[in-house]
């Protein structure tokens, strides 16, 4: 019998170095491993992988009428299309910290109560990937 144990989000970033700086200075994560095109960040027991989406050739292909935009799977525009959810304890404290650091999804962001038993806080990383932190209610 299979027992699924954990999941690790892998988020695209145009520049691993800039993304690492952002996650460490703004979001409270620490780099456990880094290369030019890949990095592993940790925060508590949560791990996030970053991979480099650096293919800019789609810009030229977009000029052709029937050319596919996605060719390599590492096109730079992909670095704004990913999302993940991270469970936390202390979501109100996280909200205050992220509000001060300017990393909330928008100026109007609040911790939202969801009818399925979570309190959610949406944020965007440097490249526009959606990261929703949530706390289980009760």
What percentage of residues in the chain have a pLDDT greater than 90? Answer: 67
The verdict on residue 118 lying in a domain is yes
With cut-offs at 50, 70 and 90, classify the pLDDT of residue 18: very high
Does residue 120 contact residue 110 with C-beta atoms inside 8 Å?
no
Contacts of 121 (CB under 8 A, 6+ apart): 91, 94, 95, 98, 104, 109, 111, 112, 132, 133, 134
pLDDT computed for residue 120 by the predictor? 96
The verdict on residue 2 lying in a domain is no
Higher-confidence residue of 6 and 134: namely 134
The verdict on residue 116 lying in a domain is yes
CA angle, 24 then 77 then 132, to 5°: 45
pLDDT computed for residue 79 by the predictor? 85
The verdict on residue 76 lying in a domain is yes
CATH number at 96 reads 3.10.180.10
Strands 112-113 and 83-87: unpaired
Instruction: Provide the sign of the torsion angle of the four alpha carbons 85, 7, 83, 44, taken in this order.
Output: positive
The verdict on residue 5 lying in a domain is no
State pTM to two decimals. Answer: 0.83
What is the domain extent for residue 50?
A: 10-136
The verdict on residue 117 lying in a domain is yes
With cut-offs at 50, 70 and 90, classify the pLDDT of residue 5: confident
The verdict on residue 4 lying in a domain is no
Instruction: Please give the tally of structural domains in the chain.
Output: 1
Render pLDDT for 67-116 as a digit per residue (tens, 0 to 9): 665 565 667 778 888 999 999 999 999 999 999 998 887 888 899 999 99
């Amino acid at each position: 019998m299979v027992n699924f144990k954990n999941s690790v989000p892998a988020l695209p970033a145009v520049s691993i170095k800039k993304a690492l700086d952002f996650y460490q200075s703004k979001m409270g994560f620490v780099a456990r491993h880094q290369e030019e095109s890949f990095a592993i960040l940790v925060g508590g027991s949560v791990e996030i992988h970053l991979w480099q989406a650096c293919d800019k050739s789609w810009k030229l292909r977009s000029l052709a009428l029937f050319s596919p935009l996605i060719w390599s799977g590492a096109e730079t525009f992909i670095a704004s299309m990913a999302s993940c959810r991270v469970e936390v304890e202390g979501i109100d404290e996280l909200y205050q910290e992220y509000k001060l650091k300017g990393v909330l999804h928008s100026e109007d962001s609040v911790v939202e109560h969801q009818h399925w038993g979570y309190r959610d806080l949406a944020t965007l990383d440097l490249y526009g990937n959606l990261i929703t932190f949530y706390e289980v209610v009760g």
